[in-house]
Amino acid sequence: MKIRTLLLIPVLFLLASSCSEARKGQPHTADAAAQDSVSQIDTTGLAVATFAGGCFWCTEGYFERLKGIKHVVAGYAGGTKPNPTYEEVSSGKTGYAEAVQIYYDPEEVSYQDLLEAFFLTHDPTTLNRQGPDVGTQYRSAVFYHNSEQEKQVRDYINKLELAGTYQNRIVTQVAPFTTFYEAEEYHQDFYRRNPNNPYIRSIAEPKMKKFEKVFGDKMKEKQK
């Protein structure tokens, strides 16, 4: 992808309605066989990245379509309370952000590729919010796992800033990874398993189509 994302209109994916509102009344049920569970993942030979970019339903949906991505798990990162629940994180008082943990083959997709996809698919200039979703749980954040990841993300943010890609300053939190807690089962693989959900159809699907146009050459064959 190189630096082509620097030339694109940065804010392509604004939300028209609140993700938290869409979850009201959402049944806590799902096909258990369809989800990735941290405890069940074979991470042999895989690298890991952790991003927070607003509602994790969409963030997970983008990344699981890219070549080289083996597993994407929705969850919570950046806080300290053991085993947080969705309701606790939604209060905005736990320090956690809705995040995704990505397990990928570095021979097929690079961390730089992931950074480009991450910054293109959300607005990194709005502090503690994405569209109408407001609160620290919806903040933009990169939780780096090693010094090389930290260097790459800071360098990429500097490149975006120098290029004037965004009208406003990037406020993405760059912090060391500490702990990731897997979200409740019904959140996992939500985009793929719930194509008729009103939020998915009206908000997420149009955003996904734009994403696919930009990253078509990086998409898994079965999802093009």
Q: What is the pLDDT of residues 145-171, one digit of tens each?
A: 999 999 999 999 999 999 999 999 999
Classify residue 92: in a domain, yes or no: yes
pLDDT score for 27: 40
pLDDT score for 130: 86
Q: What is the pTM of this model?
A: 0.83
> 55, 74, 153, 160: which is the annotated catalytic residue?
55
Residue 58 is among the residues annotated as catalytic for this protein: no
Classify residue 9: in a domain, yes or no: no
Could you say which residues of the chain have pLDDT below 50?
A: 1-5, 7-11, 13-17, 24-35
CATH number of the domain residue 200 falls in:
3.30.1060.10
pLDDT score for 204: 78
Closest CA to 83 of 73, 102, 69, 96: 96
pLDDT score for 18: 56
pLDDT score for 172: 98
The parent domain of residue 146 ranges over 45-211
Instruction: Please give the structure tokens belonging to residue 128.
Output: 């503690």
- If one counts the domains in the chain, the total is 1
Classify residue 108: in a domain, yes or no: yes
